[in-house]
Structure 1
Amino acid sequence: LVAIFDADKEGFLRNERSLLQTIGRASRNQNGRVILYADSISAAMEASIKQTIERRKRQNNYNEENQITPQTIKKAMPVMNSETGDLMAGVAGKGVGGGRRLVAKKPGKKGVEGLAKKFSLGAAAWNTTGSVLDNISQPDWNDESNTLVDENMEQSIENNDDRIKLINRMEREMKAAAARLDFERAAQLRDRIYQLENPTN
């Protein structure tokens, strides 16, 4: 059963093409029915109903000529086991399309600063100590002391190279702030970077 509410309200989802596609979904089942709820019959409704009736006639004629009895496809339901659970959780398979997700720190060349922390993956984004209780608290990047740019750094600008270095540090911190969804800090940094890049404005 397919029910289309406000079928007479013409628009993106109620034009002739959309109505035909929605009505066509019901035809996949031999007992499929479509109900169009409307106050009046719109031009799109009329056209899609006419086309559906014409297609049904053609299909019935073809079926009679070729002794075909329409039947709904029957597929066996999947057996729920660990493989199905993995498939539904999106962790089945290997490579980019699937595989087990990283849920702990992955040691690398930089130790704690490994891939998991670099890309904020799994528990490593929240916990660098290995303690389960630390997972409940805020992530490491929520600590304001981790900021790369100090407000006093702007006063120490002596030449153009220092200004460029400061802008680069501010851009890194702005991206980090955006990654941790601290958009206010990212916007402040963006505005300050603009002021440093355009000192005359």
Structure 2
Amino acid sequence: MAIFDADKEGFLRNERSLLQTIGRASRNQNGRVILYADSISAAMEASIKQTIERRKRQNNYNEENQITPQTIKKAMPVMNSETGDLMAGVAGKGVGGGRRLVAKKPGKKGVEGLAKKFSLGAAAWNTTGSVLDNISQPDWNDESNTLVDENMEQSIENNDDRIKLINRMEREMKAAAARLDFERAAQLRDRIYQLENPTN
């Protein structure tokens, strides 16, 4: 196994990542790791030192217990219709003699479900089909301020009205958070706090 630019600091070149890569290669009896670099970085030095220490401990353990390291030998799977079915997510015979589904069906929890839940994608931005409407703001951006406004707070006459307004604001706050409008959700949270604690 070769690791290029091993001296570069950052993603996949820190001590932990180098150790994991070196450890993966060591699972094979003939596994070798070559670190290509212009200079030895601190991560390289630490991972090499750690690997040497681990190798010494493993060799001592192997000698004490008379173990000869060997690579696991498994037969390669034969590619046939059963393997193809398993990879496709269906296998065996169902109740009616047909194939049965063994993989989960993609459903609402897939990418489409997330896009629908958070109103993401082109459909959320354009309900008319016009290209010009695609570059405008999404529909919910205009509607977000219509559920609760300042006049509602002034029209509170008794405690029941205040509780209803708080419940309505909480629903709108959750809806704002669901559509990732966190500024609006924070404003509503603060207004709810003021309504719940009128003396503060």
TM normalised by structure 2 equals: 0.50
- Gapped runs of 5+ residues in structure 1? none
Cα distance change of structure 1 residues 19 and 108 upon mapping to structure 2, 3 Å threshold: closer
Q: Which has the higher contact order (CA 8 A, sep 6+)?
A: 2
Cα distance change of structure 1 residues 93 and 6 upon mapping to structure 2, 3 Å threshold: farther
Deviates more, 1:28-37 or 1:55-64: 55-64
Cα distance change of structure 1 residues 45 and 182 upon mapping to structure 2, 3 Å threshold: closer
Q: CA deviation at 1:33?
A: 3.0
Deviates more, 1:161-170 or 1:182-191: 182-191
Q: CA deviation at 1:181?
A: 2.4
Q: Across the two proteins, how many residue pairs are aligned to each other?
A: 200
**Contact preservation (8 Å) 2:89, 2:103:** no
Cα distance change of structure 1 residues 138 and 83 upon mapping to structure 2, 3 Å threshold: farther
Q: CA RMSD in A?
A: 8.7
- Gapped runs of 5+ residues in structure 2? none
Cα distance change of structure 1 residues 155 and 108 upon mapping to structure 2, 3 Å threshold: farther
Report Cα offsets for 1:84-116 as digits up to 9, x if no partner: 999999999999999999999999999999998
Cα distance change of structure 1 residues 65 and 131 upon mapping to structure 2, 3 Å threshold: farther
TM normalised by structure 1 equals: 0.50
Deviates more, 1:166-175 or 1:70-79: 70-79
Report Cα offsets for 1:138-181 as digits up to 9, x if no partner: 32111156531011110000011110111111111112222222
Q: Look up the SS of the partner of 1:46 in the other structure.
A: helix
Cα distance change of structure 1 residues 6 and 103 upon mapping to structure 2, 3 Å threshold: closer
Q: CA deviation at 1:191?
A: 0.6
Q: Look up the SS of the partner of 2:57 in the other structure.
A: helix
Report Cα offsets for 1:53-97 as digits up to 9, x if no partner: 698799999999999999999999999999999999999999999
Deviates more, 1:180-189 or 1:85-94: 85-94
Q: Look up the SS of the partner of 1:95 in the other structure.
A: coil
**Contact preservation (8 Å) 2:94, 2:100:** no
Report Cα offsets for 1:5-56 as digits up to 9, x if no partner: 9999999999998765432112356664335699999999999768856987
Q: Look up the SS of the partner of 1:143 in the other structure.
A: helix
**Contact preservation (8 Å) 2:176, 2:182:** yes
Deviates more, 1:43-52 or 1:191-200: 43-52
Deviates more, 1:17-26 or 1:55-64: 55-64
**Contact preservation (8 Å) 1:116, 1:122:** yes
Cα distance change of structure 1 residues 103 and 18 upon mapping to structure 2, 3 Å threshold: closer
**Contact preservation (8 Å) 1:106, 1:116:** no
